[in-house]
Structures are given as structure tokens and as C-alpha cells.
Amino acid sequence: MTPSFGTRLRSAMDERGPLCVGIDPHASLLGSWGLADDIAGLERFTYTVVEALAGTVAVFKPQAAFFERFGSRGIAVLERATADLRAAGGLVVMDAKRGDIGSTMAAYAETFLRKDSPLFSDALTVSPYLGYGSLKPAVDLARESGAGLFVLALTSNPEGAEVQRAVREDGRTIGATMLAHLAEENAGEVPMGSFGAVVGATLGDLSSFDLDINGPLLAPGIGAQGATPADLPAVFGDAVRNVVPNVSRGVLRAGPDASALRDAATRYADEVRAAVAG
């Protein structure tokens, strides 16, 4: 049997360093590399990142939208990149933020979590705001495939608080409710469960939330958005060892030189390791 995503993630972060590199080929970043905002630029950018980092970074988070905007040819680049990253031992978290109900949610899950899919990924970001129960097709298929999910819980964008910090009739916020659901999914799993939360590294003191979900916490916001690895212990407290810090522009802006990309990724991984150990 395939080891669970939680097991593979813990091993990858211990071996390669606790870092997720986002692959976000937006127009301004392509331009900073001297590339055109077209399919040729997308290919050059993506495959340079894959070749430079696939063998050394633990986790990668391609943002699907930046590939989808080029249509079928962009999807083909994403398919190849996903396969190449996984073949080199990297874990792929597909950042697609899918969310729907019933058969539509099941189809989204099959796209990214079915083992024979061209876009099969180790984990998928999902939106629970049609109700946590709407994610059941993705939860079930992730378990079957040995994959994972990252559920939007406490995101770093200011607008997120409008929903995520709204208080239910039972006195608990929506974000806290999502964290509680994930803790139930991960109960008893060793070394940790496969169902994680997206929790922004820029949010400051989160001591009022129970982040101990026995699962990974995908933490965007480090680098260009203002958070630093040194901030992680204060934000995540006792759950900091399960944090998967995501850095996108902070690493990608070092390109297109492959050695500069590797140096930037290594520096961030070392800083995170030191912050968590400290």
C-alpha cells in the first residue's frame, strides 16, 4: 500500500527541509525572467524551476490558474511538471481551491486525486464554504489514493475574515469549525494525518484557535507578503512542527539561474528549520 500523504510529507520535510515552493507563473514574474507571457515563456519558466528544484525541495505548490489561462497547452505543461516533480521525489500540492457539491465535487476530486489521472497530485487545496460535508467525495478519494487535502481555514487575505471569523450559533467561528473537522479526520494517525488546513503565516497571534489538528498546516505569506520564517513559532505555537511554509516569489525571483534558485530555496529551508528547532 502507498504510505499516507501525512507519512510521506513528514518524511520529505525531515529529509529535504520544511519548505513548500509555490510555482506561480504570473505575467510579471515571467517578465522579470525576461520571458514573454505566452506558452513558450510558461514552458521555459516551469521546466527551469522543475529541473533546478525537483530533487532538493520537499513540497511544490503549482497554482493551477496560471496554467489554465493558457488553455489546453498550459494544462499540458502542468501535467508534465506534476509528473516530473513527483518522479524526482517532490510532493505536489495542487493549488486549485476546488469546492462544489455532489457529482461535481467528485469530478474535481477525480481530476487531481485519482491515481491514473494525468494531474494526480499528492494533495489538493479545497474550499469548504459550501459546508464541510460537501468535501466528502474528495476526502474519500484522498483516503483511497493515499493523498491529502488542504482545506481553507484561516487564509491570509483580509477579505477572508468576513467568513472565516464569523461566529456560529454555538459560539465557534467558521474557521475554528473547519479546524475541528480536520482534527476529527486525523485522529489517531501517526506521524500525522493527511488532512491539513491553510493558515496564513501573516495572521499574527492565533492562540485563540486550536491548531493542533494532528495534520499539516500549509502556511502562505512568507517572503513577498511580509512574513518571515522567524515569525512561525509565534503564529503557530505548539503546532509549528507541522507547518508547511510556502514561499513563491521569494524563491522564484532568484531565477532564471538554476543555482540561484537552489540557493534561495536552501536558505529559506534552513531558516525555517532553525526557527522551528529554536
pLDDT > 70: percent of the chain: 100
Q: What is the pLDDT of residues 244-269, one digit of tens each?
A: 999 999 999 999 999 999 999 999 99
Q: What is the pLDDT of residues 6-23, one digit of tens each?
A: 999 999 999 999 999 999
What pLDDT is recorded for position 2?
86
Q: What is the pLDDT of residues 37-51, one digit of tens each?
A: 999 999 999 999 999
Residue that has been written with the C-alpha cell 473537522 in this structure: 181
Residue that has been written with the C-alpha cell 506561480 in this structure: 24
pTM: 0.97
CATH architecture for residues 5-277: Alpha-Beta Barrel (3.20)
**Residues identified as active-site:** 97
Residue 121 neighbours by CB under 8 Å, 6+ apart: 82, 92, 93, 94, 112, 113, 147
Assess whether pLDDT exceeds 90 at residue 86: yes
Residue 112 neighbours by CB under 8 Å, 6+ apart: 94, 96, 98, 119, 120, 121, 124
